[in-house]
Homo-oligomer: A and B are copies of this chain.
């Protein structure tokens, strides 16, 4: 099966757990809306690629954590778009969940997606009990307190937070979780895989800042110019466009260099570079970078 199909299949299987003929229809629809059709599925692709580089001995575990990583990501997007945060009317080129279903359903959608991520792992990895605890802890560190996504998001409510820490928590933590969970799903120690995720996460955040400063809503499917409008820290605001583009390239190469010895090191390096090239369309980067 193709890499992408495996991930979509795992997500569909996960969403089935939330469905019932007698369930609340509006929330059921909102969960579908939040997860399908997806974006590039960058994070679960990374999880899967790491597991494959480690020979993917437990594909059911790989598929479950790929789904969990993407569900947690979708949950963070839905809550991030809420009126009290970014108040974003668009996401992935269509109405955000709160714009389409209302604020209450959007809060519940995020909650339900978080729960579903853990239920998916518990059910699909039940036959591999030795892997469970490590997988769940890796996921929790990536999204929870004190240094996962919610921590990064909370930094927006505090003054004077360093850009690097803010980005590492809000974006990098889930990328690190993605690579580490891929290793854990293959029965490999996750810690040596942290640097790869950290590096890709930082590159991705820089790319996101460049898109916010230089692209258009039509092109990226969500509002732009939000960092300045909301006075948020941003690599472009701190380093300028040229400096941001240089740092992006540098961080991708550092990430690739950090890949631990494993069966599929070279194909993984190729995939990471290819993915990173797609973070920002070439015409939005300064010529010299």
Contacts and interface: CB of A to CB of B under 8 A. Distances in A.
Contacts of A105: 154, 157
Interface stretch (A48-56, A121-129, A245-253, A273-281): A121-129
B143 A133 contact: no
Give chain A's interface residue range (CB within 8 Å of chain B): 35 or more
Contacts of A112: 144-145, 150
Contacts of A110: 107, 111
Nearest to A137: B122
A78 B150 CA distance: 15
Interface string A196-220: 0000000000000000000000000
A24 interface: yes
A282 interface: no
Contacts of A126: 133
A286 interface: no
A116 interface: yes
Interface of A: 17-20, 22-28, 31, 75, 79, 82, 84-85, 102-105, 107-108, 110-112, 114-116, 118-119, 121-123, 125-126, 129-130, 132-133, 136-137, 140-141, 143-148, 150-151, 153-158, 165
For the complex of A and B, 7 pairs with smallest distance between CB atoms: A23-B146, A129-B129, A115-B144, A122-B136, A18-B145, A119-B140, A20-B146
